[in-house]
Chain A
Amino acid sequence: MAKLTIDDVEIEVPDGITVLQACELAGVEIPRFCYHERLSVAGNCRMCLVEVAPGPPKPAASCALPVGEGMTVKTNSPMVKKAREGVMEFLLINHPLDCPICDQGGECDLQDQAMAFGAGNSRYEENKRAVRDKDLGPLVKTQMTRCIHCTRCIRFATEVAGVEELGATGRGETMEVGTYVEKALTSELSANIIDLCPVGALTSKPYAFVARPWELTKTETIDVMDAVGSNIRVDSRGSEVLRVLPVLNEDINEEWISDKTRYACDGLKRQRLDTPYVRRNGTLQAASWDEAFKAIADNLKDKDGSKIAAIAGDLVDCESVMALTDLMEALASPHTDCRQDGAKLDATVRSSYVFNSTIAGIEEADACLLIGTNPRVEASLVNARIRKRWLRGGFSVGVVGPNMDLTYPHDYLGAGPQTLNELADGSHAFCETLKKAERPMVIIGQGALAREDGAKVLSAARKIADACGLIMDDWNGFNVLHTSAGRVGALDIGFVPGPDGQDVAGILAGAEAGDIETVYLLGADEIDTRKLEKAFVIYQGHHGDVGAHCADVILPGAAYTEKNATYVNTEGRVQRAWRAVFPPGDAREDWTIIRALSDALDRTLRYDDLAGVRRRMALQNAVFEIVGDLRPSDWDKFGELGEPDGDAFTSPVSNFYMTNTISRASETMAACTKALAEAVEEKTGTNG
């Protein structure tokens, strides 16, 4: 601990921190542009100047100055005031004063700090420089004349995203931030540079000229674009979601979100189901809720439970899965499943289907084995954590499955089950790496589980976990990485086949053969709906995707921004989402639809408010009692004996930008898909 005096107040701070951090601990705000907690120190904006004694009689950049015992720091002296005014005057020399037409206006660090610390005038009378704008792809809009060269974006791309594509070219007055050769950023986290930019040089392209920050209603909620469960803030105006921003959560997403999380929200405005539909004479026709319920009641009348099935999709919330579970039980149907992709996950042992080490726990690990997963596209922020851990050194990553650019170097061990078997029987060299590690971990992707021999893969991975010492009293290195936000919650509720029940493949086969006559799709769009042609299909969801197209009755539900709901992320962390806007038209919150339907079927569920459903969930599984925090799951037996013998593992995500009904309906995600395809074409074309 070091003792120092900041503005006449004595404070003790940890050794090795900077004067700027010490000032923050003391509650003194230091203006800054280039300094950022999660990036390396650059020290080039000079806005954080303070007066420090002992030392040369001039202001010092506090962001790059380590604290020393007995230091006296002044942040409000005439020298500091003059220094800040001077720096601000310099920064504004080449900054266009175009705040009225700048999207950063109202949430601009430069604007705020110029007001707070600037002198209010400029002595500069010469011409300002102008900089050509760069094309960084469909997400980031540039207005490079506004750039103050803080280099946060460069450091983010280099350090956090792991794509060294941004840089500062030229020098002095001709210095420019950009890519030099025109190209879109090839990162799934690229749009975070918009948040990092302290001025309006990098702004959001899809959100350009849409709204001012003070017009927006801000709702902190949970993202469902992947299974990470990123904490987000949904900014809305009226009934429209205008943008999505990250919310700090050290345990999950830190302060980043993926581009899909940020930009798929325009898909919420398109292809929405806003009224119930009933198929009459072969065509879907708009109907009232009563008509829709009646059509379902007619179909289900006196039908045996074994002829009814239900499939839950990837974006489902726990409340609606709970209600559907109860409804299917009331209808005596055992055919329920939430594993659309056929992943061989065992719902009875929680530690077999969650990310036990936790996302923040990755930072403690010292060896990692990836099996059948490409975390970069399946869970970009998990990948960012792995990269963050790798940057610290002393960390080895082995990959079994697709060989890809993960933004950090890795040992490529093999493509499929053969390598996995070698690892499981201990004959592979990487076993030694795992054994030697103090905190080894293995991450299994859905690509390794959603296949015929998936249960055997799971058991092989378990064998590795046991043999290589991944399981300790205070550490569980066995991790399943999910890709869908609704999966873990549905498994926790137990939305899997009951006794003699069929799984998704069985339901589809049954429907094709005519054994199953009615199929209830709860937001399930990632299945082969051609097999459902004979069956009576009830589709409940928010987007008119493939599920709705094959439906006989459509019940319009709410998207993730439109309901108060519970989601469980891949770690098994229970989180609450909050309604930001109302569902469009006649659409309703999903669990209430099932509750109303149960009434129409004379099988009324025994809860009629949100608290009631949540009590029911907690009864079903105690994990729902704790929100936000994690309780470790017990290590138990799971998997199926035998050696996996299928083909090479592949990642379930082939196009990062389009993985669910919302992102498929998003124009921005379509533009990203196109840009990515063009970039790939160029890479394999002229540039060899």
Chain B
Amino acid sequence: MTVHTEQPDTFVFDETYGAEAAKIIARYPEGKQASAVMPLLDLAQRQFGGWLPTAAMNHVADVLEMPAIRVYEVASFYSMYNLEPVGEIFVQVCTTTPCALRGCAAILDACRDELGINVGETTSDNKFTLREAECLGACVNAPMMQIGDDYYEDLDVESTKGVLKALRNGETPEPGPQSGRKGSEPAGGLTTLNDGAAGAGG
């Protein structure tokens, strides 16, 4: 595991994030504040712009009075923490089995095409970073990708490119299924409770 070379010297929680951190720490009993390490790392990552420099992990360790190495262990274990800089818009395409069966390879290619970068790379304007991700738990709406905190599901090549284009133009496309279905309802329309008797209550 190599540490990213360009590291800021210092990091401290600003007022907003600091207040949020204090709220989270207060959820745990006295002396057990180390339990707050994961949400605090998340806060630090959000404040710093999508990734965790060593200084941020050290700050979390200081705040929680735990050894820094224990924070490094947590941060390096979970894939949701980035230990290297990422672009403003962080695109993670799920490539695990269900998504693979539903054609995620084409989705990934569409991303490559649209963004002009390969998996693991960041666009030169620092706007987009493209990654493959392991199962994100939205198999019922496969194939899907996660952008920032949002899931874009039921993708095809066109809708994928559409979402990315909209993001590039500064719009925020509606998250969720891009195929028009609602949530994870059956793709071919409702199969039960469609005889108008709903609400009878049995």
With the chains together, A166 CA to B69 CA distance in Å?
Answer: 7
Residue A181 at the chain B interface, CB threshold 8 Å:
yes
> A179 touches which one: B58, B69, B76, B77 (CB < 8 A)?
B69
> B76 touches which one: A132, A170, A687 (CB < 8 A)?
A170
Residue B171 at the chain A interface, CB threshold 8 Å:
no
Write out, one digit per residue, whether chain A residues 171-183 have a CB within 8 A of any chain B CB (1) or not (0). 1001010111110
Residue A164 at the chain B interface, CB threshold 8 Å:
yes
Which residues of chain B in 20-76 are interfacial with respect to chain A, using CB atoms and an 8 Å cutoff? Answer: 54, 58, 67-70, 72-73, 76
> B73 touches which one: A132, A167, A686 (CB < 8 A)?
A167
Q: Are B1 and A164 in contact (CB under 8 A)?
A: no
A319 CB to closest chain B CB, in angstroms? 47
Q: Are B69 and A164 in contact (CB under 8 A)?
A: yes
- Give the size of the chain A interface in residues (CB under 8 angstroms): 18
Residue B2 at the chain A interface, CB threshold 8 Å:
yes
Write out, one digit per residue, whether chain A residues 614-656 have a CB within 8 A of any chain B CB (1) or not (0). 0000000000000000000000000000000000000000000
With the chains together, A171 CA to B68 CA distance in Å?
Answer: 18
Q: Are A171 and B76 in contact (CB under 8 A)?
A: yes
> A169 touches which one: B58, B67, B72 (CB < 8 A)?
B72
B79 CB to closest chain A CB, in angstroms? 9
Write out, one digit per residue, whether chain B residues 2-19 have a CB within 8 A of any chain A CB (1) or not (0). 110000010000000000
> A181 touches which one: B3, B67, B73, B77 (CB < 8 A)?
B3
With the chains together, A136 CA to B2 CA distance in Å?
Answer: 15
B100 CB to closest chain A CB, in angstroms? 19
10 A-B residue pairs with CB within 8 Å = A132-B2, A164-B69, A164-B70, A166-B69, A169-B1, A169-B73, A170-B1, A171-B77, A178-B1, A180-B69
Chain B residues with CB below 8 A from A687, complex form: 58
Q: Are A180 and B67 in contact (CB under 8 A)?
A: no
> A167 touches which one: B3, B9, B69 (CB < 8 A)?
B69
With the chains together, A668 CA to B67 CA distance in Å?
Answer: 28
With the chains together, A56 CA to B159 CA distance in Å?
Answer: 50
Chain B residues with CB below 8 A from A167, complex form: 69-70, 72-73
Q: Are A180 and B70 in contact (CB under 8 A)?
A: no
Write out, one digit per residue, whether chain A residues 118-142 have a CB within 8 A of any chain B CB (1) or not (0). 0000000000000010000000000
The chain B residues found within 8 Å of chain A, CB to CB, are 1-3, 9, 54, 58, 67-70, 72-73, 76-77
Which residues of chain A in 141-178 are interfacial with respect to chain B, using CB atoms and an 8 Å cutoff? Answer: 164-171, 174, 176, 178
> B9 touches which one: A165, A178, A686 (CB < 8 A)?
A686
> B3 touches which one: A164, A165, A180 (CB < 8 A)?
A180
Chain A residues with CB below 8 A from B73, complex form: 167-169, 180
Chain B residues with CB below 8 A from A164, complex form: 67, 69-70
A296 CB to closest chain B CB, in angstroms? 58
With the chains together, A179 CA to B2 CA distance in Å?
Answer: 11
Nearest residue, chain B, Cβ from A180: B72
Q: Are A169 and B76 in contact (CB under 8 A)?
A: yes
Chain A residues with CB below 8 A from B68, complex form: 180-181
> B67 touches which one: A165, A168, A171, A174 (CB < 8 A)?
A165
B64 CB to closest chain A CB, in angstroms? 13
With the chains together, A170 CA to B58 CA distance in Å?
Answer: 17
Sort A-B residue pairs by CB-CB distance and give the 5 closest, nearest first.
A164-B67, A167-B69, A169-B76, A180-B72, A167-B73
Q: Are B2 and A165 in contact (CB under 8 A)?
A: no
Chain A residues with CB below 8 A from B72, complex form: 167, 169, 180-181
With the chains together, A165 CA to B72 CA distance in Å?
Answer: 10
Output the residue of A179, A181, A687 with the most chain B CB within 10 A: A181
Q: Are A176 and B1 in contact (CB under 8 A)?
A: yes
User: Known pairs A164-B67, A178-B1, A181-B54. 16 more at Cβ < 8 A?
Assistant: A132-B2, A164-B70, A165-B67, A167-B70, A167-B72, A169-B1, A169-B72, A169-B73, A169-B76, A171-B76, A174-B1, A180-B1, A180-B68, A180-B72, A180-B76, A686-B9
With the chains together, A686 CA to B58 CA distance in Å?
Answer: 13
> A165 touches which one: B54, B58, B69, B76 (CB < 8 A)?
B69
With the chains together, A123 CA to B35 CA distance in Å?
Answer: 42
With the chains together, A142 CA to B177 CA distance in Å?
Answer: 50
Nearest residue, chain B, Cβ from A169: B76
Output the residue of A168, A176, A182, A686 with the most chain B CB within 10 A: A168
Chain A residues with CB below 8 A from B69, complex form: 164-167, 179-180
Chain B residues with CB below 8 A from A176, complex form: 1
With the chains together, A686 CA to B9 CA distance in Å?
Answer: 8
Chain A residues with CB below 8 A from B2, complex form: 132
Which residues of chain A in 654-688 are interfacial with respect to chain B, using CB atoms and an 8 Å cutoff? Answer: 686-687
With the chains together, A168 CA to B72 CA distance in Å?
Answer: 9
Output the residue of A166, A167, A686 with the most chain B CB within 10 A: A167
Write out, one digit per residue, whether chain A residues 338-363 have a CB within 8 A of any chain B CB (1) or not (0). 00000000000000000000000000
